Structure 1
């Protein structure tokens, strides 16, 4: 059921108000919006008529937000940003030579970005636009040409093509002084960089050791991060041993910036998949990108 919206002020009035508030100046806002200063002032007056409250205090030294204006700005800035992003995504999806992809931060940075650079060298006529969002869900995929989802596949309404398997193993900087050979018991005694994955679907050291039927309790006061990219960077800095996702760390291992610790590998038998909606056929540029990734 769609909730009926009450009468809203014109979008131009909201946009003018936001620009004036951000710049602290009617003239600067007018320059940004390519309008006259009087036109911007008129838009702000229209907004004040709708809110039945002044949104700016005007004085000799300039302007400042009223309490009502400050409250309104806090409400509309994220809404305008979301609206702008949504319109841009729709525009890009309709652009025959633009391909939009949404993925998590780690996948976007460590796996997708290098491949997009290589793809663009072969297909300079196609622009691949990446949206990085750790909060992505299958429900948002329809807004993009593609998404990259982690799991076992089988999402309703989505075509899913496996890209890479989840393989996780300990890594550290090569010059970190550690015993030459590590058993699971010895691994637990090393300076492990903890990962707090309570807010998202990701394994931590407790899960990793449990995969090998080994109990583990995090050390108190140890290093802990809530993102795999932060844990990865901590390992690069030599701060300890981190869980390393193969798609993130394999290149650093090959280049000698990291080394594997022990021979144990957690293979979850899950994958990251390239997914897209099946309601409409892929446009030519999107099909070219999908074929290239295959």
Structure 2
């Protein structure tokens, strides 16, 4: 049996999408008769009726729906592959990253990059989802917080992250400064079974019976702590700008290593991009400087019972 002509399958897909033979024929610059002939040729080949024809248009039969679901992804892939590709510029770079990391860490440092490399044009695309580089051909690289292994991507380790409890000056003024032993008596932001459980298991104290609030977004979690809602066990990278601004105060020397780390990732097609090479070198230098600055006041990771605990000044109701 000969292969069905691709244009007939395309006509079938177009008619199925639009639900109208006249509009489908116009979009393909065909007559309705020619499009109907293409669809009929497929129906005869498969010995199945693909459309139910009515006064308002056409509707897929069950056999037609099965054929549509089977071939549509392949035709979409062909259409995507044949789309014209703009010539890539070595002085233009498109980066995808989480909005929280962009605002707390990368954006404050970008002026140094552009001052050293004024010819470089940076496009930051904030995205909370994982970008598919195979489909998003205009994106050159990304910065991700994860395990460090993504199929088909080169991953360059930038730095680890740490979790520390922080609170606003207003909360400390109102309730006093907590100790490791009475931390559970303070309003905590988080969720049961999260990293707070590991904190109490490692450094001592009793887990609270309830948490004040739960957030599914790290940026809002830290903002809530800065507004005095409660104590957050947050990532240093996200908390650092608020700490430097005096809106959050680290409460203890103890800290937990974050489950994931920060990485620069990019697909094979970007490995020879000169703009990315410049960005990568600069990013590694910034990451090294950041780690060195954090290490100057590097908190202890000792277990509970080995440190000095400040007396509680909490005001009892």
* TM-score tier (shorter): 0.5 to 0.7
Confirm or deny that 1:209 pairs with 2:197. Answer: no
**Distance in 2 between the 1:191 and 1:157 partners?**
44
TM-score, structure 1 length as denominator? 0.58
The equivalent of 1:95 in structure 2 is 88
Please report how far the alpha carbon of residue 218 of structure 1 lies from its aligned counterpart in structure 2 after TM superposition: 4.7
The equivalent of 2:245 in structure 1 is 255
TM-score, structure 2 length as denominator? 0.54
Describe the SS at the equivalent of 1:95.
coil
Confirm or deny that 1:194 pairs with 2:183. Answer: no
Please report how far the alpha carbon of residue 271 of structure 1 lies from its aligned counterpart in structure 2 after TM superposition: 2.5
The equivalent of 1:35 in structure 2 is none
Once the two structures are superposed, what CA deviation does each residue of 1:10-32 show, in whole Å capped at 9, x if it has no partner? xxxxxxxxxxxxxxxxxxxxxxx
The equivalent of 2:255 in structure 1 is 266
Confirm or deny that 1:113 pairs with 2:107. Answer: yes
CA pair 100-187 structure 1, distance change in 2 beyond 3 A: same
**Distance in 2 between the 1:179 and 1:234 partners?**
16
**Distance in 1 between the 2:222 and 2:113 partners?**
26
Please report how far the alpha carbon of residue 191 of structure 1 lies from its aligned counterpart in structure 2 after TM superposition: 0.6
**Distance in 2 between the 1:163 and 1:185 partners?**
35
Please report how far the alpha carbon of residue 291 of structure 1 lies from its aligned counterpart in structure 2 after TM superposition: 1.3
Describe the SS at the equivalent of 1:185.
coil
CA pair 267-279 structure 1, distance change in 2 beyond 3 A: farther
Please report how far the alpha carbon of residue 272 of structure 1 lies from its aligned counterpart in structure 2 after TM superposition: 0.9
Please report how far the alpha carbon of residue 155 of structure 1 lies from its aligned counterpart in structure 2 after TM superposition: 5.2
Describe the SS at the equivalent of 1:184.
coil
What are the ranges of 5 or more consecutive residues in structure 1 without an aligned counterpart?
1-82, 198-202
Confirm or deny that 1:283 pairs with 2:273. Answer: yes
RMSD of aligned Cα (Å): 5.6
Confirm or deny that 1:231 pairs with 2:227. Answer: no
Describe the SS at the equivalent of 2:171.
coil
Please report how far the alpha carbon of residue 285 of structure 1 lies from its aligned counterpart in structure 2 after TM superposition: 0.9
Number of aligned residue pairs: give it: 272
**Distance in 1 between the 2:142 and 2:168 partners?**
32
Name the stretch that deviates more: 108-117 or 240-249.
108-117
Describe the SS at the equivalent of 1:175.
helix
Judge conservation of contact 1:206–1:216 (CA < 8 Å) in 2. no
Larger Rg: 2
Please report how far the alpha carbon of residue 289 of structure 1 lies from its aligned counterpart in structure 2 after TM superposition: 1.0
Describe the SS at the equivalent of 2:178.
coil
Describe the SS at the equivalent of 1:183.
coil
Judge conservation of contact 2:94–2:140 (CA < 8 Å) in 1. yes
Please report how far the alpha carbon of residue 136 of structure 1 lies from its aligned counterpart in structure 2 after TM superposition: 5.4
